[in-house]
Chain A
Amino acid sequence: MTPLLNTSSLPFCKGCGHDLIAKNVAKVIDYLKINVFDTIAVTDIGCHGIIDKALNCHTVHGLHGRSTALAAGIRFGVLSPEKKIIVFVGDGGATIGLQHIMEAARLNLNLTVLVHNNFLYGMTGGQSSGLTPTGFATTTSTDGNPFTGYDLCAMSFAAGASYVARIVGIGDISKTIEKAITTNGFSLVEIMEICPSYGIKLNPKRKFTEIVEASGKPIGEWERNRAPFDFPKWKKTANLFDKLPKAETLKSTKLETPVSIVLSGSAGEGVQLAAGILTKAAMTEGLEITQKGSYPVTVGVGFSTAEINLSPSEIHFHGIDIPDYAVITSTDGLAHSRKRIEGMKSGVLFIDKSLPVPTTGAKIEQLDFRSIGARDSSLFAAFVFAKKTGIVSVDSILNVIINDGKADKLPLEKIKEALATV
């Protein structure tokens, strides 16, 4: 019995290498006089993981392979280095949870990961893991493992760990464990050990030291001076609503029933911006709005479509199947909205005059949207829509642009001139 262990007979098979690791951890905690309640043991699923009932410290027992990630989460919440977080994981857990170990090493989280490498999955019956050495017999490779094992130490160190060691689980291993536990950063110790129940049984003629040597994985320690993880100095807002612009109602609308509009053009031609200005202008006239954009996942090419609803009353359903108005400024936009245009039985289609007009029941207005330049064609189209329909006034759009400080970034004079000819 030690401050850490509540029993000297640990729950493993006779001769199991896991026993030595637990006892050496206990020795280190005792030697360093670490309060057991300042110690958090995070154990994986596997034979090694059943140790937690023998421990007097905080114990957290989660899922197979996820112990390092769970410990990482605890560390994010408990940054003080006085608190020791120790992960007990097998070679199986290290295989399935490899990503978690790499991530903790990359961030150099102040944790100690003890890899109980008995070259196989003990709890499930001695199958090969990603750390099984070539030639080592397991229940799933009785003629010897045909594959090579990961060099977990080299990988963890390359990922950024402060301290990494590979040792043989014989005798007193407390010095290495002490070094790991006192490292302020990510530390990993791979302890090569043996599972008598499967490892010895399946490799009866081999000596443990020879198996270690034949694994080709060097015994040794690797360290670097690197600051442990700390949170960056974040800039946070105290309220996500603070910066949202208001759109005060300045005049009242003449619109009596809801209308739906589809504005379709090309990426980079200001479709979403124009839609945003149009909806905001509508709000200054007291209308309720909804707006959503759709574009391909590669946002910089292809179509860009904005779906807009304007209504004098609250909008519950904002989907637009067939719109009341379609405003089409480019070939991409036409291709994307063609089906909808063809489905229109009434309403108005405003379409750039360079484009072929689809068969539609909508009234057709062909206009020269692109004469203003492709980049501003959508905004110009929004102005034209306003002038032609009167649903939103041209002045309201102009006011939004001016009030939002966008007047000098947009070619308003040119737009006004072109609008006069429409």
Chain B
Amino acid sequence: MNKPDTSKRQIVDGSRIMIEALARAGADAFIGYPITPANLLYSYSAQRIPIMLPAPDEITTLQWMSGLALAGHFPVTATSFPGFALMIESINMAYMMELPMVIILVQRLGPATGTATCGAQGDLLLLKGMMSGGHPTPVLCTSSFEDIWTLSAKAVEVAVKLRTPVILLTSKEEVMTQKSFDLSTLPEIKPVERKFYSSEEPYKPYKPVNYVPEFLSVEQNKHQVRITASTHNQAGILMNTDEEALANTRRLEEKVRHFLPEYTIFEHYQNQGASNLIVAFGVTAGAAKDAVTQLNKAGVPTDLLIPKTMIPTPEGYLSIMGQYEKVVIAEENMNNQFGELIFGLKKAPNQRFVGGLGKMITPQQIIKEVQS
């Protein structure tokens, strides 16, 4: 990261940064369906992404994206819970077919239509469980403009490398609020390189090479490509529950977990002798940063963990959280979803929770819990 230069600052929102980053990383198609608070992402895509098509609904969105992915493109969409809910079966399809793509989920207040104009962090456990079978889909969560930039590019990289849909998790305040920002501080993004199967041997679309099968577009006419969302063998033929087919399904989960170290991203700010840890992701990370600064200034040594790779959940988070006397998890929902992700129903003795519904969590709320 370069040093910010106040003479170069511009007023910018996170949506703009996200779409520019995705475009630079190689996203060449965007399928859109309007929904607040993802609309800026849609309109910037119309200006920037080479192929931009308006879908008539979110099921179509994911199907069109999958078709484009089959033809070798890299598609992106942006939505919020109501649209995401419609996409889930098709995301399962893309996962099973092993199609690279990025789905941006901008969280807002639910349930259902809830309040379109209000932020929230209530979809984490939905993402954890959205795949039938519980197989993990990579979820990266942004918590600053820098993250929006680097994680967007990372999402493309992971999607291509693992041949999988990747969810880029964010929330209303992060993509709609305008801020002064020096864009020249952002590191360069290089287009993600795509490799296609090039051997003369007949192509087996689901034969793994280090967990991930090589990709081949249905546009070429050298080899037959068989793609299916049903349980299938390495040749891409529907096989019900035969051993090779089940091994293939197992591999889908294994590949996502195997490469996790390559996309485990978090920040852990440490101070001398801290016995308190604040854990916050996404929009709440901003409040947590302020809380940590104020607490340390007031002589209450406190550390901060900002998880960014949410799913699969890196085990490292658990060991970091185990090192502290008090762990305050702050997230904008009323049921401590991240806490449940880490500790399950058996609450850890050192675990505290600051929640929120319909309002951003403030630094003061977090400070109060640390000091209680």
Contacts and interface: CB of A to CB of B under 8 A. Distances in A.
Given A240-B48, A316-B286, A77 B68 contact: yes
Given A62-B66, A83-B219, A317 B226 contact: no
Interface stretch (A34-42, A189-197, A352-360, A371-379): A34-42
Given A73-B67, A73-B70, A63 B48 contact: no
A72 B63 contact: yes
A31 interface: no
B363 interface: yes
Contact of B16 (A36, A66, A241): A241
A236 B97 CA distance: 31
Contacts of B229: 61-63
Interface residues of B, number: 76
Given A74-B71, A99-B60, A279-B11, A236 B177 contact: no
Interface string A302-320: 0000000000000111110
Contacts of A381: none
A37 B223 contact: yes
B90 A247 contact: no
A285 to B, nearest CB: 10
A274 B178 CA distance: 14
A223 interface: no
Interface in B248-294: 285-287, 289-290
A57 interface: yes
A93 interface: no
Interface in A316-354: 316-319, 321
Interface string B32-70: 000010000000100111111100110110011111111
Contact of B12 (A77, A99, A244, A286): A244
B183 to A, nearest CB: 5
A53 B47 CA distance: 42
A73 B225 contact: no
Interface residues of A, number: 64
B290 A316 contact: yes
Q: Which of A52, A241, A294, A316 has the most CB of B within 10 A?
A: A316
Interface in A223-265: 231, 234, 236-237, 239-241, 244-249
Contacts of B285: 316
Contact of A53 (B173, B237, B287): B237
Interface stretch (B2-10, B103-111, B159-167, B192-200): B2-10
A292 B67 contact: no
- Which secondary structure dominates chain B's binding surface? mixed
B124 interface: no
B179 interface: yes
A103 interface: yes
A74 B362 contact: no
Interface string A287-305: 1111110100100000000
Interface in A28-76: 35-38, 40, 45, 50, 52-53, 56-63, 66, 69-76
Interface string B65-84: 11111111100000000000
Given A63-B90, A74-B70, A83-B219, A319 B287 contact: yes
A291 B180 CA distance: 9
Contact of A103 (B60, B183, B227): B60
B130 interface: no
A36 B225 CA distance: 11
B177 A290 contact: yes
Nearest to A67: B63
A317 B218 contact: no
Contact of A292 (B57, B178, B219): B178
B64 A73 contact: yes
A45 B51 CA distance: 29
B122 interface: no
Nearest to A313: B293
A62 B360 contact: no
Contacts of A40: 218
Q: Which of B97, B116, B221 has the most CB of A within 10 A?
A: B221
B253 to A, nearest CB: 20
A116 interface: no
Contacts of A37: 220-224
A100 interface: yes
A295 B65 CA distance: 33
B227 A60 contact: yes
A270 B44 CA distance: 24
Contact of B177 (A241, A245, A292): A292
B359 A321 contact: yes
Contacts of A35: 221
Interface of B: 6-12, 16, 19-20, 23, 29, 36, 44, 47-53, 56-57, 59-60, 63-73, 89-90, 93, 97, 116-117, 173, 176-180, 183, 217-230, 236-238, 285-287, 289-290, 359-363
Closest 6 A/B residue pairs (Cβ): A73-B67, A77-B71, A319-B360, A69-B63, A37-B221, A73-B64
16 contacts: A61-B228, A61-B229, A63-B93, A66-B93, A70-B66, A73-B67, A74-B68, A75-B67, A236-B48, A239-B20, A247-B180, A248-B7, A289-B11, A316-B289, A316-B290, A317-B289
Given A291-B178, A317-B289, 16 more contacts: A37-B222, A58-B218, A59-B227, A59-B228, A60-B218, A69-B59, A72-B63, A73-B70, A76-B67, A77-B71, A103-B60, A244-B16, A247-B11, A288-B180, A289-B178, A321-B359
Interface of A: 35-38, 40, 45, 50, 52-53, 56-63, 66, 69-78, 83, 99-100, 103, 231, 234, 236-237, 239-241, 244-249, 276, 279-280, 283, 286-292, 294, 297, 315-319, 321
